[in-house]
Amino acid sequence: MAETSATPASLATVHGYPRQGPDRELKKAIEGYWAGRVTADELHDTAARLRRDNWRHLAGAGVREVPTGDFSLYDHVLDTTVMVGAIPERHRAAVEADALDGYFAMARGTQAVAPLEMTKWFDTNYHYLVPELGADTVFTADPAKQVGELREALAQGHSPRPVLVGPVTYLLLAKPAPGMDPGFDPTTLLDRLLPVYVQVLTALRAAGAEWVQLDEPALVQDRDQAVLDAAARAYRELGSLTYRPKILVASYFDRLGEALPVLAEAPIEGLGLDFTGPAAANLNDLARVGGVVGKRLIAGVVDGRNVWINDLERSLSTLATLLGLTDRVDVAASCSLLHVPLDVALEHGVDPQVGRWLAFARQKTAEIVTLARALSEGTGAIAGQLAANRADLASRAASALTHDSAVRARSAAVTPADARRSQPYPERAVAQRARLGLPLLPTTTIGSFPQTTELRAARADLRAGRIDAAAYDERIASEIRSVLVFQEAAGIDVLVHGEPERNDMVQYFAEQLNGYLATQHGWVQSYGTRYVRPPILAGDVSRTEPMTLRWTRYAQSQTARPVKGMLTGPVTMLAWSFVRDDQPLAETARQVALALRDEVADLEAAGTAVIQVDEPALRETLPLRAADRPGYLAWAGEAFRLTTGGVRADTQIHTHMCYAEFGEILAAIDDLDADVISLEAARSHMQVARELAEAGYPREVGPGVYDIHSPRVPGVGEVASLLRKGLDGIPAERLWVNPDCGLKTRGWSEVRDSLDNLVAAAREIRKEVADQPSA
């Protein structure tokens, strides 16, 4: 590209940064606190050190304005709930007795008190804790965390910008509190909430904040006029304050659309916009409204959700256009860097050439600084970086890793018939019941059982060479036998082998599929202290040999009860990976589906009667804008059916989904044509069961009755009560009994008691159903 001249100084900044530390120090400190090995003071010291290290790294890399308030011990939405004083009544006593323990009780629950519901953060794999609000909610300002972290950064010599969840998004993320009318609209509380934000902004200004960022990602979704009017009112009121910091409203994940002119006209000083992926439409939208002259614009031109290097020349072209639409352009990632791993330099096992295609948080920070320097000093100042970037992009495009002609030919040959079962569900149901012989309200689990310290140690010993493969395999076989014996004794009807050989439900398959890359330190927060290492989908996908057959067949040989084959579905394999950005997602999904179809065929040929293909990410990957959803659902549904469409009528296909709002995709769930679907339902009190019933869903359903994301052991009465709610909409002959999700993260003592109670409740409800007079 032609060399561009310098403009007034452009700042490099970020919206947020990974919290965990290079060695997941935060996770270890929090879990140590829960276990009693770490004191509250030690936990807070670890958190402060990680914040200090993050700010120091950002400043050292050239970031001139660092974020504060984005750091969290569990979840930033829960932090906002504390900041505005919206503590649920059932947790209030615990919070008042001990703020830290009360905070974690809201997140995880206790044996006596249920936690807040958890769901996906927009279309990411991060989970937030859902605020519970009602007509009687009283908001009170508690900005201690936000002010404290601001003062920490100032004391360390940084230029900080506090980052908060904005008031409109906070209300749109909330749900009616228990006991409230389900139709209650939390946004009606805006006028009650705004005075609290006024107090928070005033406190931050008094503590030294020049700018405060209010995140309003909910405004990138389709919103009616009432919400747009609420946003206009909110920022008109906040902007009219005489004593406050400058306000920057940020959005991300998609284009602002109808909300853009609202914020462009608001009396605020800055906007943060995403210009990557579908949000690239913000560029044209911004031009249509005449730009934002007089406002600061933070341009998110570096993708904060994926791991591929930035095309610097393309980003500079976007930035050059933006310079004509506003007075000041600063450079950032598209969203918080919370959604990517920390540092590519830690990945010593990745081929160095492939490593040059990748950018994690630290590399993205360097890209942001480079782009800001080009805006300030002209592109001549980064000529070397531009040349290297151009070469790396060309290397990736030409690599044999990204193109496999056999895979592409097979994908091109797929027909519509390949993605459909040969018999309709009613015929399949008859054949499956005859083959399986299950009781009414059959019990099962979702797949994984606790990954004990001993299991993790065995895996580490194998990697380190302290044990050989034969010793490791015997350890796995022993664990499978134990899990099967427990399930049989507990009275579970359809068993699982427990997945002791698997490190993660996506990574395990990715490590065995051509086209995927695995990382060693690429940890990303999913929720709380749960971190995952998403694999990197870099090339065309194929399967070399069976991936699950050995241990599934072994497990079935140990019991007369059916053992489920367990696979992760193609949509989730994409959604929980860093997916390639050089071809349509539909093509990548089809390639993964064909590889999994081969695995399904092998399992069925080995006699597996029940095969579960998990798709927990189907809802979370749903585009944020309604206009984009039909195309996504078409290829996602085809990919699932392509995986499962080749089996016989008497082979029962299960799928599983967890922690999302399903109401918007019930037709798509139906179109998957799975014989049985299990779904998260415990925290939402069977809401999804009611939705499926209202939609006339015709197949078998297992709404979860045991919340596995909490250490609570549900009692028999609690599980039975949930099952009765399920029976209000789903007939007994189509209702399954199962936990919400896999049991990998729970301890054995909790699992034993919880599953014993689950089976006892199922027996109790079976008897109630049997005792009912027939119609």
Distances (CA, A) of 116 to 111, 359, 494: 14, 35, 30
Segments in 645-708 forming alpha helices (H): 666-671, 687-694
DSSP summary character for residue 280: G
Coil, helix or strand at residue 411: helix
**In terms of Cα–Cα distance, which of 269, 290, 594, 576 is closest to 413?**
594
563 bridge partner residues = 495
* CA–CA gap between residue 200 and residue 139 (Å, rounded): 12
What is each CA distance from 28 to 31, 105, 280, 533, 673, in whole angstroms? 5, 18, 38, 16, 42
CA-based radius of gyration for the chain: 26
Tokens of 640: 């699932």
Number of neighbouring beta carbons within 10 Å of residue 721:
17
Q: Give the span between the Cα atoms of 95 and 522, in whole angstroms.
A: 34
DSSP-derived letter for residue 170 is: H
Amino acid occupying residue 390 = R
What's the token pair of residue 207?
């503590």
How many C-beta atoms surround the C-beta of residue 205 within 10 A? 16
CA distance 702 to 735: 6
Write down the residue that tokens 């974020």 correspond to.
67
CA 304 to chain centre: 14
**H or E element: which one contains 532?**
strand 530-532
Q: What is the DSSP letter of 5?
A: -
Determine contact, residues 666/691, Cβ cutoff 8 Å.
Answer: yes
Residues 715, 716, 717, 720: what is their CA dihedral angle, to the nearest 10 degrees?
130
Estimate the share of the chain in helix, then strand, then coil, as percent rounded to the nearest 5: 50, 15, 40
CA dihedral 40, 43, 49, 55 (to 10 degrees): -100
> Which two tokens mark 284?
């044209």
Rounded to the nearest 10 degrees, the angle between the axes of helix 469-490 and helix 453-464 is 160
The residue assigned the tokens 């967890």 is 658
The amino acid sitting at 254 is D
- Name the 3-class secondary structure at 256: coil
Verify whether residue 709 is a known catalytic residue.
yes
- How many CB atoms lie under 10 A from the CB of residue 138? 9
- The closest of 299, 303, 371, 302 to 328, measured between CA atoms, is 299
3-state secondary structure (DSSP) of residue 386: helix
Question: Tokens representing 173?
Answer: 């993320």
Q: Of residues 158, 497, 521, 709, which has the active-site annotation?
A: 709
d(CA 615, CA 503): 18
Nearest of 78, 80, 113 to residue 94 by alpha carbon:
113
Q: Can you count the helices (H) and strands (E) in the chain?
A: 28, 20
Distance between CA atoms of residues 604 and 588, nearest Å:
25
HSE-CB at 151 with a 13 A cutoff on CA atoms is 10
Q: Where are the alpha helices (DSSP H) in 217-281?
A: 225-239, 259-265
The CA-atom distances, in angstroms, between 632 and each of 127, 553, 560, 619 are 22, 35, 41, 11
Dihedral angle over CA of 165, 169, 172, 176, nearest 10 = 20
Catalytic site positions: 709
